Structure 1
Amino acid sequence: MPVQPASHSTPARSRQPLEPTVRAPRPSEPTRASGTRTSAAWFGICVGVLVLAALVVFMVQNTGPVAVSFLGMTGTAPLALTLLIAGLGVGIVVLVFASLRIGQLRRRSASGHPTGARR
Structure 2
Amino acid sequence: MPAAPAPVVPKKTTRPTRISGTWVAVLVAIVVLIFLLIFILQNGGNATIHFLWGEFSLPLGVALLFGAIGGALLVAVVGAARILQLRRQAKRTATPIGRPATSSPARRES
Q: Percent identity, aligned pairs only?
A: 32
Which aligned pairs between 1:45-60 and structure 2 lie closer than 5 A?
45-60=26-41
Q: For this pair of structures, how many residues does the alignment match? A: 88
Structure 1: runs of 5 or more not aligned = 1-25, 114-119
Q: Is 2:60 aligned against 1:104?
A: no
Q: Which residue of 2 aligns with 1:88?
A: 69
Map 1:18-97 to 2 at 5 A. Answer: 28=10, 31=13, 33=15, 35-97=16-78
Letter matched to residue 101 of structure 1: R
In structure 2, the CA distance between the partners of 1:104 and 1:68, relative to structure 1 (3 Å rule), is: same
Instruction: Note the alpha carbon deviations across 1:40-78, whole angstroms, 9 max, x for none.
Output: 222221111111111111111111111211123223211
Tell me, which stretches of 5 or more residues in structure 2 are unaligned?
1-7, 95-110
TM-fit CA distance, 1:105: 2.1
Distance, in Å, in 2 between the alignment partners of 1:36 and 1:101 is 29
Q: TM-score normalized by structure 1? A: 0.61
Runs ≥4 residues deviating over 3 A: 26-32
| CA displacement, residues 25-49 of structure 1 (integer Å, 9 cap, x when unaligned) | x75455462x432222222211111
Q: Higher relative CO (CA 8 A, sep ≥ 6), structure 1 or 2?
A: 2
TM-fit CA distance, 1:84: 1.1
What letter matches 1:72 in structure 2?
W
AA in 2 matched with 1:45 = V
